[in-house]
Chain A
Amino acid sequence: MTILNFTDWIANAPAWLQALPDWLQNFVFQLYQTFIYQNRWKFFTDGLKITFIVTIGALILGVIIGLLIAIVRTAHDSSVKKPFFLLRFLNWFCNLYLTVIRGTPMMVQLLIMGFVIMAPKTEAGTIACGIITLGINSGAYVAEIVRSGLMSISVGQSEAGRSLGLSYAQTMWHIVIPQAFKNILPALGNEMITLLKDTSLVSVIALRDVTKQAQNIANKTYQAFVPYISLALIYLVLVIVMTKLLSILERRLRKSDH
């Protein structure tokens, strides 16, 4: 029996509940149906697991892709002589990627990856598909954020590094990137928050993330209010926690400017 009857439920409820006004009884009934009945809270925790896996996976992939693209584009734009062929090709490819990914909706990208390109059959495959699609999407935005960060560092910094004999890569890694990272942290945090919320779209490729699970509960209980409001609160709490962590990190990194 999946649908619980309100009349049966209230008849067996403790006396203090029966003493409440009707609308409150109804609200408690919905809460009970959404979270407690048949251990439905597990829907949310299972969904959250998927949401976390996809978010973290896509975040890592997105940062790696974004960093690589930003470095290619910055190296191309800042080279004094005409860049060599490979660099020009890479730069062309990166521009193509940015145009396509930023020019099409995330949902459409998920549909194409989920049903045309990867078309995964297993759950693990679907999770991978979600991570890859979101990572590729996020990478395009991260790339531009990182590029703006790299450009914000004065050319004197890399000249100082190069004049000491450090290679281009060493100068980037030890001198430019750490400073750029500090400058782009707020924008990067914003992108992370967007990514976390965008994972709610993976339900279209049949991934059971927390949004999909809330839909499942709404379908089982014929009640939308509590599952969806709870879902919104879950995302809200996650974003608030993330914002807090980011501001702690920002404060730590700021210790060198007095």
Chain B
Amino acid sequence: MTTDNVIIKVRDLKKSFGKIEVLNGIDIDIKKGEVVVVIGPSGSGKSTFLRCLNRLEEPTDGKIFLEETEITDPKIDINLHRQRMGMVFQQFNLFPHKTILKNMTLAPIKLLKTPKAEAEAKAVELLERVGLADRALSYPSQLSGGQKQRVAIVRALAMNPEVMLFDEPTSALDPEMVGEVLEVMKELAQSGMTMVVVTHEMGFAREVADRVIFIDEGKIQEDSSPEEFFGNPKSPRLKDFLSKVL
């Protein structure tokens, strides 16, 4: 392997909805253990980019590799590769008809064939990590937004993914709950998880990211370390954007 430790490789990724071109040729390499934060104005295609990575959105053109496997190859079983990429959504998307424990054990039991007791033990352990072990038997509707999102994160972690994708994980939260979710994400980043995070939380980007990329008009306009990104932005679009949000 020549490209050392690259876990996700994206080449000339394009996506259009009808006539509207949302992604217009994205190229990026993401290394194992890297935390990449994706920033951009709304409608810039940053969420679409993230959703293309596990093919929740089918790319119109281009290639995506997860390690050695080209996951944009129509012949591969995408379900197997999605198991390796956890995803956290803006709207949490917990399963409201299942308890927290069942939310977390469904996929491991069905897909990894983990014995029920083992899956439950692991789920409780994960819940302990985010301080929610006592809510294992609650239903999602009994939880606050911040608690729901923490559960959504550990639900994805229960599958032992190699990569975690976050699609604006704090945008639907009340302000006082943002911190608790970011804290969990920060710990996850420190544990060495590869993460791609679409967010508006500039503080998180500055503090936790290894790289920050700026997407606008369907292209990566800037790709640099957080110090460079915020301290010395090069693209005029990014300068303009930062002047509005900071």
Residues on A close to B: CB < 8 A?
80-81, 154, 156-157, 159-167, 170, 174-175, 178-179, 182, 256-258
Contact present for B80 and A165 (CB under 8 Å)? yes
How many chain B residues touch A (Cβ–Cβ < 8 Å)? 31
CB of A174 within 8 A of CB of B106, answer yes
Given contacts A81-B58, A174-B106, A256-B141, contact A163 B86 (CB under 8 A): yes
Q: Are B110 and A163 in contact (CB under 8 A)?
A: no
Residue in contact with B97 in the complex, picked from A81, A162, A163, A178, CB distance below 8 Å = A178
A163 adjacent to B106 (CB under 8 Å): no
Does B95 contact A160, Cβ atoms closer than 8 Å? yes
B interface: dominant SS: mixed
Enumerate chain B residues within 8 angstroms of A81, measured Cβ to Cβ.
58
Chain B residues positioned under 8 Å from A162 (CB to CB)? 56, 79, 82
The interface residues of chain B lying within 8 Å CB-to-CB of A165 are 79-83, 107, 111, 159
Contact check, A156 vs B89: say whether CB atoms are below 8 A apart.
yes
Contact of A159 with B93 at beta-carbon distance under 8 Å, contacts A80-B58, A166-B79 already known: yes
Which residues of chain B come closer than 8 Å to A179, judged between CB atoms?
A: 95-97
| A156 lies within 8 A of B91 (CB) | yes
Check if A159 sits within 8 Å of B110, measured CB to CB: no
List of B residues within 8 angstroms of A164 by Cβ: 82-83, 86, 106-107, 111, 155-156, 159
Interface residue B139 (Cβ < 8 Å from any Cβ of A): yes
Check if A156 sits within 8 Å of B159, measured CB to CB.
no
| Contact indicator B89/A182 (Cβ below 8 Å) | no
Give which listed residue, B86, B94, B142, B155, contacts A258 with CB less than 8 A.
Answer: B142
Q: Which residues of B contact A159 (CB under 8 A)?
A: 56, 89, 93
> Could you say which residues of chain A place their CB within 8 Å of the CB of B85?
163
Rounded to whole Å, the gap between the CB of A165 and the closest CB of chain B is 4
CB distance from B165 to the nearest CB of A (A): 8
A-B pairs, 7 with minimum CB distance: A165-B83, A160-B93, A163-B87, A164-B107, A156-B93, A165-B82, A256-B139
Q: How far is the CA of A178 from the CA of B103 in the complex (A)?
A: 14
5 new A-B contacts at CB < 8 Å, known A164-B82, A164-B107, A256-B141? A160-B95, A162-B79, A166-B106, A179-B97, A257-B96
- A164-B83, A165-B79, A165-B82 given; A256·B110 CB < 8 A: no
Interface centre among B83, B86, B95, B155 (most CB of A within 10 A): B95
The smallest C-beta distance from B54 to any residue of chain A, in angstroms, reads: 6
Q: Which residues of B contact A163 (CB under 8 A)?
A: 54, 56, 82, 85-87, 89, 156, 165
Q: Mark B132-171, 1 if CB is under 8 A from A, else 0.
A: 0000000101100000000010011001000001000000
B24 to chain A, nearest CB (A): 19
The reply to whether A157 and B93 form a contact with Cβ atoms under 8 Å apart is yes
